[in-house]
Amino acid sequence: MRGLRGLLAVSGRRAAASGASSSPHSVLFARALQILSQPEPVRLHKLSAPDSGIVELRLERPEARNAIGKEMLKGLRSAMDKVGADPTANVVLVASSVPKVFCAGADLKERRLMGPSEVREFVNTLRATFSSFEALPIPTIAVVEGAAFGGGLELALSCDLRICGESATFSLPETGLAIIPGYVSRMALYFSGGTQRLPRIVGRARAKELIFTGRRFDATEAVNMGVVNYCVPGGEAYQKALELAREINQKGPLAIRMAKKAINEGMEVDLSSALAVEEECYEQVLHTRDRLEGLAAFAEKRRPLYTGK
């Protein structure tokens, strides 16, 4: 970005000196200015006290209804890396700043301009990114107001919890484009959505219906099927998600991490192996300061002060 700003300054001076609005430098200046004026498609924001520990990830690409293109994918990847490396992060809210849309799916206009190797690289990166959402050690909550189609729905499905407004609409329309909901990493333990995550949430037969037909379904059907945890009046999904995030944020952060690990890993194996996973996770919290603080706070009838140690 610094190099682009320097180029912008040089081009601007040359354009001003020439006085020719149609000169190559003027064109370059205008294009650079347009790039610099565009906001980042993904914004990461850490809430302050008393909500320290809650991180907000915002999708901000209004010109494309938050369709996932190369730049947005890069932003999602960067955001996940930052969250994963932040020991103070306890909960992530994934929301949209664009009215009436969560995410419209993949950017098909951009996809049409890609060659086969570019498409393969893009899809592989998208798979890895959605798997990163699924594998984050802390809880993630998707806030869906408006449309969540294709990859947008898969992004929501890769979160742990989903809250929607009553005007939200959902679909996996990929079969209508002669492809399948395929943002799944075959090498990953967890699944990000589509043909793998959706059946684990709504059941095999219902998932087949939704994927085979690609039909849209509304917020009421989504909550009845278990696609979302809560459906609230339009415009109130973020507040409900924030309330849940605050509840989670008050709990022992190590316990929350181990609970998520035990559930996710245990669901992929038989019961005997799952109980072994649970035992291993419990062992991780047994000798922590937070466990002792929790017992002391209970005995003293006060709110515990957890430090994640």
| Residues 23, 12 contacting (CB under 8 angstroms) | no
Residue closest to 266 by CA, chosen among 283, 281, 286: 281
- Residues annotated catalytic, as ranges: 106, 151, 154, 174
Q: State how far the Cα of 249 lies from the Cα of 256, in Å rounded to an integer.
A: 9
What per-residue string of b and e applies to 251-272 under the rule 16 or more CB within 10 Å gives b?
Answer: bbbbbbbbbbbbebbbeeeeee
Cβ count within 10 A of residue 85: 8
Q: Which pair of tokens denotes residue 57?
A: 């990830």
- The DSSP symbol for 63 reads G
User: Hey, is 58 helix, strand or coil?
Assistant: strand
